[in-house]
Amino acid sequence: MPSCSVGIGRVAIPTFCRETASATIATGPRQGEVCGLVWGNVDLESGIVHVRKQLERGTRRRVEPKRGSVRDVDLPLIAVSALRSHLVRAMERVFPDRLADDDPVFVGADGRAIQGWTAYRAWQEVLRGAGLPAMPFHSLRHSFATSLLAEGEELAVVSKLLGHSDVAVTANVYGHLTPAMRHRAAGRVEDALRRKSG
């Protein structure tokens, strides 16, 4: 684990964990897809992450992701900025000679891709330090999806961004309505009724 750390509030956490969590909540990949991400699939100029591989559980092998999961995801500007900073640190401390397209984005102290278990443990440390209950690393992916839906994004778009093979999968997992979604739906009904009565 890299020795450098950063502070979020009063919580000091390893830099790679902050960047991993930031990338996950900003793009919604599966844990294996985060661990298997390489710099050749991150286009910071265009602000796009190309999800092409995932790290096989318990190994260092990069394999094809689940069916229908190969996709491109646009990065919010805040994530682009975080990854630019992460790239600078990576080139200074982990890959001082050169950075190759197949070098992993998120690495441990040995310069190799972090394993899912490492990301999970670091995430739990973050939660404990913040006084929050334990949550799976996958909760970051759920937060990405529910945030988009709460902001009014279409289910089909969210499904594509998550890499689901079918929109029905997304509907089954995220079919519940948040209060914001219910309120927005009621507002649309009211607008439609006013137009018809006017």
Supply the DSSP symbol for 198: -
E strand map for the chain? 5-8, 11-14, 42-43, 48-51, 54-55, 62-63, 71-74
Per-residue pLDDT of the chain (198 residues; tens, 9 = 90+): 332 333 333 333 445 566 777 788 888 999 899 889 999 999 999 999 999 999 888 787 888 887 778 999 999 988 898 889 888 888 887 777 778 899 898 887 777 888 888 888 878 887 887 788 998 888 889 889 988 888 888 889 999 999 998 899 998 888 776 677 777 778 778 888 788 776
Task: Count up the domains in the chain and report the number.
Answer: 1
- Rounded CA-CA distance 88/5 in Å is 15
The pTM of the full predicted model, rounded to 2 decimals, is 0.77
- Rounded CA-CA distance 30/69 in Å is 10
What CATH code is carried by the domain that includes residue 149? 1.10.443.10
Task: Give strand pairing partners of 38.
Answer: 104
Q: Are 106 and 34 in contact (CB under 8 A)?
A: yes
Structural domain including 119 reads 5-197
